Structure 1
C-alpha cells in the first residue's frame, strides 16, 4: 500500500513559510539582539540562555555544537525540561506543574553570579508561564538586557498567568517572533479533530542560527573572532580536536564566575 504523501508535503510547505516569514519580518529584531550579544561577549560577559519545556531545544542549538562558539551560557533545569520519562519520576506532569510555580524563577537565579556585561535570552513559545516571567523580571532587575524569543501569535492568544499580569514580550528589551502559529501544530488531517506537526522548533532554529551568524560576524569585525567548534570533515581530525579543546577551555574560563569562581576580565586574556 502506498501512503499519500500530502500531509508530509503540507508540513514541509508550511515549515518553509515559517522560515520565509522569519527572513521577511524578523531580521531587524535579530540584528538588534545580535548587537546586544556581541557587546556582551566582546566585554567578556555571558549571554545566559533560559527556557522551559521544549524551549530547551533552541538553547542546545546555540551552544555547544559544531558551528557554535563560547560566550553563550545555557541554564537548563532538568526538573523543567527532562521529558523522556513522560510519566513516573521526572514526568511531564511534574515539569508542566513546576513551570507554573511563581517564585521558582527567582530561586533558580539565586544559584548564579551575574557579571556587569551579561545579558539574557529567554525562550518560550507561549511566553506566559510563571517561571519564564520570573527569570525575565529578575534579569531586568539585575540590569541585564533581556531578549525574548516567542511565538507572538501564541503569546498574544494566551492569557497572562503571572501575578504581574505580564507576558514575556512585555519584559523584554527585544522580542523576536519564531513565527510559529498559535497552537504550534501545522497540519490538519481529514477525520482527525486535532492538528499535528509542531512548528516552533523550525522557527527557533532559524532564529538562533541567524543570530549566531550575525554575532560571529560582528565579533570578527571588532577584531575578536570567536573560537568555533568545527567538524573534522572540514579541517581534519587533529585541527578539529585542538580547536575543540581550546573552545572548551575558553568556555570554562568564561563561566567560572557564574559558579562562584573567576571569570576572565577581558577577551584579551583568552
Structure 2
C-alpha cells in the first residue's frame, strides 16, 4: 500500500470540495471586502490548531492588512505539550464558558466588521461563543468547519448548539470524520490529518478574491511581497506601509472600547488666557 499516494489522492478530493464552494467563498469575500473598504477589520479566530488558518490569512507573504488575528496563546500554544502551558490545559480552556466574552471585551465591535471563526469540529465552547457574541453585535460571521466531522460530533456546549448555528455562512475544509485520512496496515488508528490543508486552501481563495474586490474598488491592498519579486526597496515600503495600516485599523478597535476615559472623550475647550 502506497500511503503517500493515498494521502495525495484524498487531498485532491478536498480540492474538489473547496472548488464546489466557490459561490459561498465569493459571498464571504464580498463581506470581508466591504469591511475593509469601510476602514474596519475582519476578525479571525481559531483555538487549537485552527490558529494555523488565522496566521495563514495575515500577516505573511502574499497577505495584506484588513484582518485582526485574535490568537489566544492559552488556547493555541502547543509546543510544550505537557507541564506548564501544556496541551491538557489548552484543551480544557477552549471549553470554558465565558472566556470568549473576556477575549472580545478588548474590542469595540461594529456592524461594519465581519468575522471568520475556524473550528474543525465546530463543537468547542469558545469558538461557538465567539460567533455568538459577534452575531449579537451585528457582525457577520463566516464559519470554517469540517462539515462531515462536525455533523458527527457532539457539542461541548450545554444547549447542544454548534458553531454553524451562529454563522451567516458555513465553509467546509473537506476533510473526513476524525480528520486523519490515511489507514496504515497493522495500525488500528488513522494518521495524517487533512483539515489544515483544506482550511489553508479556503483561506487563500478568500484572500485572493478579497484582493480582487479591493483592487476593483480602486483600493488595491498593500501586499507583503518578497524582495526577489518586487525589489528590495519596494518590499520594504510594502511591509512598512502594510504594518502601519494595520496599526491604524487596529486603533479604531481600541479607541472607544468599554468605559470612556479622558482620551476617548472629545477634548474639552480650554479657556484661552488673555
**Which TM-score bucket, shorter chain as reference?**
over 0.9
Match of 1:244 in 2: 239
Look up the match of 1:268. none
Does the aligned pair in 2 maintain the 1:50–1:74 contact within 8 Å? yes
Candidates 188, 197, 216, aligned match of 2:192: 197
Give the match's secondary structure for 1:50. Answer: strand
1:140 aligns with 2:135: yes
Q: Is the 8 A contact 2:110 2:137 kept in 1?
A: no
User: Where do 1:194-233 residues align within 5 Å?
Assistant: 194-233=189-228
Cα displacement string for residues 236-257 of structure 1 (whole angstroms, at most 9, x for unaligned residues): 1111011111111111111112
Structure 1: which 5+ runs fail to align?
263-270
Match of 1:265 in 2: none
Deviation of 1:260 (Å)? 3.5
If the length of structure 2 is used for normalisation, what is the TM-score? 0.91
Q: Rg bigger for which structure?
A: 2
Find the partner of 2:62 among 67, 89, 113. 67
Correspondence for 1:156: 151
Equivalent residue in structure 2 for 1:19, among 15, 23, 44: 15
Counterpart for residue 106 of structure 2: 111
**C-alpha contact 2:110 2:138 (8 A) present in aligned 1:** no
CA contact (8 A) 2:108 2:256 kept: no
| Mapped partners of 1:259, 1:12: distance in 2 | 44
Residue pair 1:229, 1:240 contacting (<8 A) in 2 also: yes
For the residue of structure 1 that corresponds to 2:68, the secondary structure is strand
Distance (Å, rounded) in 1 between the aligned partners of 2:239 and 2:58:
13
* Aligned pairs for 1:58-97 within 5 A: 58-97=53-92
1:261 positional shift: 7.1
Q: RMSD between aligned alpha carbons?
A: 1.3
Q: Where has structure 1 moved over 4 Å in runs of 4 or more?
A: none
Distance 1:106 1:164, change over 3 A: farther
User: 2 CA distance for matches of 1:20 and 1:118?
Assistant: 30
User: Could you tell me how far apart the structure 1 residues matched to 2:255 and 2:176 are?
Assistant: 41
1:256 is paired with a residue whose SS is helix
> Aligned pair 1:125/2:130, yes or no?
no
**Change in 2 beyond 3 A, CA 1:261/1:103:** closer
Q: How many residues align?
A: 257
Q: TM-score of the superposition, structure 1-length normalised?
A: 0.92
CA distance in 2, matches of 1:170, 1:76: 23
C-alpha contact (below 8 Å) 1:29/1:174 kept by paired residues:
yes
Structure 1 residue 164 displacement after superposition: 3.4
1:42–1:219 Cα contact (<8 Å) kept = yes
**Are residues 261 and 226 of structure 1, via their aligned partners in 2, closer, same or farther at CA, if it must alter by over 3 Å?**
farther
